[in-house]
Amino acid sequence: MSAELPSHEGALVSLARDGESSAREELARHVGRSAYVFALQLTERPDTAVDVAQDSLLKFFQHLDRFDADRPIEPWLYQIVRNRVRDLMRRERVRRHESLDAWLEAGHPESADPSADPAANAERSDLGHRIWRAVSQLSQSHREIFVLRDHHDLSYREIAEVLSIPQGTVMSRLHAARKSLREILIAEGEARGGPPGRRGDGDE
């Protein structure tokens, strides 16, 4: 990805700042699609991804005047989406703990059955489903960095900006994420010599 803001995108930002409605609508469509895809990749829940995308779009426009128009939009947008997803996950953890405490207090000490993994029902003959199932098993930090690099093609510098970590950490974490992904695929017996299109661990 180029470090320069695409001219059309830059023009949209400038016009949107000036209150041009058609520019704001086009920018909203572009930003909304990108926000939804990234949120869905992080949460695997379409309904939640829609909510995250809408909230992220609102925040994007609320702070558009502070955006550096000489830089690409995606790193800034993905940082907004990631923060929103993490906020939701924290709240869900709190709710789960509260629900569990109430359940135990009600006199139901037996173990609750964990909900089934929806990805386990994906077609095993479809390579895309197999790889995504493996991605869904990565830790949150590994999934974030793998998706940003291998699905959204952000540079190491841009990923470092999104995740607020040094570029060296980006490289080492990405290496670990890819290694874990290969191990998951092999362990499940779904890889035959490694996933096709495997990229080198050190390429930029």
Please compute, for residue 8, the number of CA atoms within 13 A of its CA located in the half-sphere on the CB side: 3
pLDDT at 6: 52
pLDDT tens digits, one per residue of 131-189: 777 888 899 899 999 999 988 889 999 999 999 999 999 999 999 998 898 888 788 76
> Which range marks the domain in which residue 194 is found?
119-204
Handedness of CA 180, 184, 186, 192 (dihedral sign): negative
Q: Are residues 76 and 124 in the same domain?
A: no
Q: pTM here?
A: 0.59
Q: Are residues 55 and 132 in the same domain?
A: no
CATH number of domain containing 29: 1.10.1740.10
User: Among 85, 108, 131, where does a domain finish?
Assistant: 85
CATH number of domain containing 141: 1.10.10.10
Query: Is 154 part of any domain?
Result: yes
The tokens describing 180, both together, are: 């874990």
Query: Is 19 part of any domain?
Result: yes
Q: Which residue stretches of the chain have pLDDT < 70?
A: 1-7, 91-128, 189-204
